[in-house]
Amino acid sequence: MTLFRQFIVRALLGDRSRSAVTVVGMTLGVAVVVAIRLANTGSIRGFATALDVVAGQTSLEIVGSGVGVPETQLADLAWLRDYGRVSPVIDRTARVRAPDGTETAVRVLGVDVLRDRPFREYRLLRFTQEGRDLRPQEFLELMLDTSAVVLTEQFGKRHGIDLDTPVELIIGDRVHDAVVRGLLLDEGPARVVDGQLALLDIAAAQLLFDRLGWLDRVELQLFDADAVDPAVRSTRIDEAERAIAARLPEGLRVQRPAQRGRQVEQMLAAFHFNLTALSYIALVVGLFLVYNTVAVSVISRRSEIGTLRALGATRRLVRGLFLGEAAVLALVGAGLGLPVGWLLAWAAVGLTSTTVNTLYIATAATVPPLGAGDLVLACAVAVPLALAAAAIPANEAARMTPVAAVRDADRFAQLGRLPRRAAWLSLLLFGSGAWLARQDAVGGLPIFGLGAALAVVFGAAALVPVLLDLVRRLGRVPMGRWLRVEGLLAHANLSAAVSRLAVSVAALVVSLAMLTAIAIMVGSFRETVTYWVGQTLQADLFVATADRAPVGPPVTISAEAERLLASHPDVVALDGFRNVDLTYGPDSDLIILGAGDFEVLMEHGGLLFKNPADGRAAMRRAVAADAVVVSESFALKHDVAVDDQIDLDSPQGTRQFRVTAVYYDYSSDRGLVVMDHATFARYYGAQRPSGLSLYLEPGVDPEVVRDELLDVVGREHQLFIRTNGALRAEVLRIFDATFAITYALEAIAIVVAILGVATTLLTLILERRQELGMLRLVGAARGQIRRMVVIEAAMLGVLSQGVGLVVGVVLSLILIYVINVQSFGWTIQYHLPLGFLAQSTLLIAVTTALAGLYPARVATRATVGDSR
């Protein structure tokens, strides 16, 4: 232990800058991994806990196919009472405009309090203050009027709302005057959604949300739901679930409330998986740095190792000392990485929640607090990987013979067979990458695809010593011609240190390759989306409600608003888009079933077809038939082709529909099935549209019409009306926001990598003080020395970027054609963002050159008398 303290800890403390960079690298690596994990679980757990607590004592729920449960069916389900208490529920979102002028999205539960109270404990502030509980009838009477709304204590405090305060409830486009009749205590469901909960009577909710005759679900609390033993309870619920499933009519399903959470989880799995994979890149860079640090400390202290060995230290001891160094670095990095990661997670949640369709509108995604589990995870990830990375230099140290070490014979390890071995390794990795890229997805996740990407990344890393060796052999003449004596000296210095530089350059190469690949993928994706938007957004104006509910029931546009819009003289055609969530296939994947007016779509265009080429004819075949067109991601995920029959659940039971076309869609990776609105109405009943497309008289200014329409719908209807151009811009804005986190992660990796290069250079300089002093002695000017070091740094930068570009292109191919297709099912047209790549190359050269400035300054101060 004493030896470890003196030999390793003292050295780490002594060489502060290198240790610091390594620790920063590890910290950032761990932090990014932790952050992404926290952000992912945070968003899912936020949803799941909200679900749990809002589900309350609910054991099971009856749900319909997409559009909900028709009341007429419920009337026949009186037998459900044999199993337990039954409560019908309307579960929607709306916005509350408080007297303070703020508008807040809230989760709205429409319930029959007489039935619902045993499900969710509701207690009202006023009555609790009076020291009594509210009787069910009193509670009901508070809510009977359609203007009555019950909000939460927390919400009330935040917005200055008290009993009998008038508020506005904005539902879809309609503004509804309401009066606060009660405030729920800050507990149970009211607490979990951060107080953003509104309670309505079920009758009022049906009326206000346009759901007369329909329920969103029917909850069931089994009579023996309070069995003390959770296992017993679970078995009973299972039994009841089976029995009920067997008795339910077609079109209805029974499930546990958690099922909804699982569906959302499934829906986000691909997104989260890819984000997680990306986060590990930062960790990989951190590991390169650990390797680098340990390698440097092994090499720079050969003589000391030799002395130790001569004094009787065993190989094991030596190996242990250096592995210990790696472990210390990893532990410090993990320890610091946790809190940093927690902070990063907040930023990531902010970014992803605006991109993952705002998850669930009133469910504030929060970052869970750090637990012991996170510490264990951070250490479990960081320490073994760091030890693995350090194993190579540590072994090298252990293998050293005392004589060779003490003699300090080959301080810069001879390259020997290293380049050749690295070349073989690289080839092997590239080969396996090629094989992996051809494998299918596993459970909807691109496991092999990522394996391929990883193989390419390590292949590129292995290629670095080979390339450095090539530069050593071939670079001397051009460097001398172009940069004269400083170039020659720089080349000589780098050539001598190939084995040392290989690792830090490899780290930079990996980061840059990833950046290049991501830039190409995002750029291609953006081009594709831009083209798609241009082809499919044909209408002149688009009308939507301010709220969007990406999961769950859609927010709809009222008939009055539609009528007002249609009556404008310049509006020649109007198409409403209806959509519902539907579960599909054996895994009950959440898909979107949409409906539009195919006649209008055929006339004005609006879908971009993949197959068959004549999409218009295909759509015509789908009119007045049990037929649909499906999105590319649906076709790919569910292995569906044109002319296949697919089974869709409907309120009338499962029905077969023929697929007449596959079209491109980038609006959702959930998979879309679209049918003509007449077909939809036949199977799913009348439903208000969630969006409208307006086609105008040729020649009129859409901006002018838009303003006129906004005047017409006035204050009674809260609608967003966007012109074609504005919507395109909006689509791209959302697109860019989605990928902001990707760039942020990459930037972190690159910063770490450049720091790595700078410290490696610095170490080299420190080791070469004698030589540098000698150079000064033989007449080298300070400027020349500085230039020499900066050239070294820039050379490394340019080299890294060169390799990074090539490997990045390969990686981007894997990202676009393997990982993207497997996780999202999108066709992305390949596009090289040349401008961006050129800029980044220049930027990297300049940045690495700048990173060389500090080592250069150290170098200029070197004199002959310096000792290491």
Partner 1 sequence: MSARWVVGAIALATATVMVAQEPAAVPSEGWRQVEAGYPLRFPRDHGSHSDYRIEWWYYTGNLSSDDGRRFGYQVTFFRIGVDPAPANPSRWAVRDLFMAHLAVTDIETGRLLTAERLARAGVGWSGASVGTLEVWNGDWRADLDGESHRVRAIDGMFGVDLHLEPGKGPSAHGRDGISRKGSEPGNASYYYSMTRMPTSGRLVVDGEEIEVRGASWMDHEFGTTFLEEGQVGWDWFSLQLDDGTDIMLYQLRRDDGDRDPNSAGTWVEPTGASTGLEADELVLVPGRRWLSPSSGAVYPVEWRVELPSRDTHLDVVAAVDAQELDTDASTGVTYWEGAVTVTGQVADRAVTGRGYLEMTGYAGRPMSEMFR
CB of 626 to partner 1, least distance (A): 30
The answer to whether the CB of 262 falls within 8 A of the CB of 590 is no
Name which of 126 and 481 has its Cβ closer to partner 1. Answer: 126
Using CB under 8 A as the criterion, what x/- string covers residues 370-389 for binding partner 1?
Answer: --------------------
Give 97 or 115: the residue with its C-beta nearer to partner 1.
115
As given in the structure block, the two tokens for residue 644 are: 């296949």
Does 471 bind partner 1 (CB under 8 A)? Our answer is no
Q: What is the spatial distance between Cα 624 and Cα 795, in angstroms, rounded to a whole number?
A: 67
- Nearest C-alpha neighbor of 584 from the set 649, 660, 645, 661: 649
By rule CB under 8 A, what string of x and - marks binding of each residue 303-322 to partner 1? --------------------
Of residues 144 and 310, the one with the C-beta less far from partner 1: 144
For residue 6, the 8-state DSSP code is I
Separation CA 58–CA 556 (nearest Å): 28
Site string (704-743) toward partner 1, x via CB under 8 A: ----------------------------------------
The yes or no reply on residue 654 touching partner 1 (CB under 8 A) is no
**Contact residue for partner 1 among 6, 99, 102, 114 (CB under 8 A):** 114
The CA-based angle 141-142-148, given to 5 degrees, is 120
For residues 14 to 53, the per-residue mask of contacts with partner 1, x marking binding by CB under 8 A and - elsewhere, is ----------------------------------------
Name which position in 11, 49, 115, 527 contacts partner 1 (CB under 8 A): 115
Rounded to a whole number of angstroms, the minimum distance from the CB of residue 202 to partner 1 is 5
203 binds partner 1 (CB under 8 A): yes
d(CA 366, CA 456): 36
Q: According to the binding rule CB under 8 A, does residue 124 interact with partner 1?
A: no
Smallest gap from Cβ 816 to partner 1, in A, equals: 51
Q: How far apart are CA 465 and CA 503, in angstroms?
A: 8
Range in contact with partner 1 (rule: CB under 8 A) among 199-207, 279-287, 775-783, 806-814:
199-207
685 binds partner 1 (CB under 8 A): no
Q: How far apart are CA 25 and CA 829, in angstroms?
A: 35
Q: Which helix H or strand E contains 657, and what residues bound it?
A: strand 653-664
Q: Does the footprint of partner 1 cover residue 78 (CB under 8 A)?
A: yes
Binding flag, residue 176, partner 1 (CB under 8 A): no
The residue among 71 and 603 lying less far from partner 1, judged by its C-beta, is 71
> What's the closest the beta carbon of residue 137 comes to partner 1, in angstroms?
6
What is the SS3 string spanning 423-455? HHHHHHHHHHHHHHCCCCCECCECHHHHHHHHH
Contact 591, 598 (CB under 8 A): no
**Residue 57 contacts partner 1 per CB under 8 A:** no
In 3D, which of 575, 576, 563 has the Cα closest to residue 604?
575
Confirm or reject binding of residue 559 to partner 1 (CB under 8 A). no
Is the separation of the CB atoms in 803 and 464 below 8 Å? Answer: yes
Q: Which residues sit opposite 658 in a β-bridge? A: 627, 645
Of the candidate spans 110-118, 472-480, 707-715, 833-841, the one that interacts with partner 1 by CB under 8 A turns out to be 110-118
Would you say 179 or 409 has its CB closer to partner 1? 179
Q: Is the bond into 612 cis (omega within 30 degrees of 0)?
A: yes
Asked if 126 is part of the footprint of partner 1 (rule: CB under 8 A), the reply reads no
Contacting residue, 1, 212, 246, 311, with partner 1 by CB under 8 A? 212
Instruction: Pick the binder of partner 1 from 140, 332, 423, 806 (CB under 8 A).
Output: 140
Q: Per-residue x/- mask for partner 1, residues 576 to 595, rule CB under 8 A?
A: --------------------
Nearer to partner 1, 116 or 649 (CB): 116
Kindly state whether residue 187 participates in binding partner 1, applying the rule CB under 8 A.
Answer: no
Out of 58, 152, 206, 358, the only residue in the binding site for partner 1 (CB under 8 A) is 206
By the rule CB under 8 A, 112 interacts with partner 1? yes
Q: Could you write out the three-class secondary structure of 801-823?
A: HHHHHHHHHHHHHHHHHHHHHHH
Task: Label residue 581 exposed, middle or buried (CB < 10 Å: 0-12, 13-18, 19+).
Answer: buried
131 binds partner 1 (CB under 8 A): no
In our burial notation (b when 16+ CB lie closer than 10 A, e otherwise), range 86-95 reads bbbbbbbbbb
> Per CB under 8 A, does 121 bind partner 1?
no
Q: Which is nearer to partner 1, 135 or 242 (CB)?
A: 135
Strand pairing partners for 516?
none
**Residue 223 or residue 424: which is nearer to partner 1 going by CB?**
223
What part of residues 217-246 is at the interface with partner 1 (CB under 8 A)? Answer: 223
Helix, strand, coil proportions of the chain in percent (round to 5)?
Answer: 60, 15, 25
Q: Least distance to partner 1 from the beta carbon of 228, Å?
A: 18
Site size toward partner 1 (CB under 8 A) is 28
Cα distance between residue 505 and residue 761, in whole Å = 11
Please name which of 334, 349, 368, 384 lies closest in space to residue 30, comparing C-alpha atoms.
334
Which helix or strand (DSSP H or E) is residue 157 part of?
helix 153-159
Helix (H, G, I), strand (E, B) or coil at 692: strand
Does 138 bind partner 1 (CB under 8 A)? Our answer is yes
Q: What is the CA radius of gyration of the chain?
A: 33
DSSP secondary structure of 615-647? HHHHHHHHTTTTEEEEEHHHHHHTT--TT-EEE
Closer residue to partner 1 in complex, CB, 201/216: 201
Segment contacting partner 1 by CB under 8 A, of 74-82, 489-497, 711-719, 745-753 = 74-82
Name which of 358, 456, 361, 410 is nearest 814 in CA terms: 456
DSSP state of 208: H
Smallest distance, Å, CB 614 to partner 1? 46
200 binds partner 1 (CB under 8 A): no
3-state secondary structure of 209: coil
CB closer to partner 1, 88 vs 855: 88
Chosen residue from 11, 17, 57, 71 binding partner 1 by CB under 8 A = 71
One of 175, 207, 573, 731 touching partner 1 (CB under 8 A): 207
Strands (E), 45-146: 60-64, 69-70, 84-97, 103-111
DSSP string, 546-593: S---SSSSPP---HHHHHHHHTSTTEEEEEEEEEEEEEETTTTEEEEE
Query: Which residue, 207 or 418, is less far from partner 1 as judged by CB?
Result: 207
**Residue 135 touches partner 1, criterion: CB under 8 A:** yes
Cβ distance to partner 1 smaller for residue 199 or 849: 199
Note whether 202 binds partner 1 by CB under 8 A.
yes
Query: Among residues 145 and 410, whose Cβ is nearest to partner 1?
Result: 145
Question: Where along the sequence are the contacts to partner 1 (CB under 8 A)?
Answer: 71-72, 74-75, 78, 81, 88, 112, 114-115, 135-138, 140-141, 144-146, 201-204, 206-207, 212-213, 223
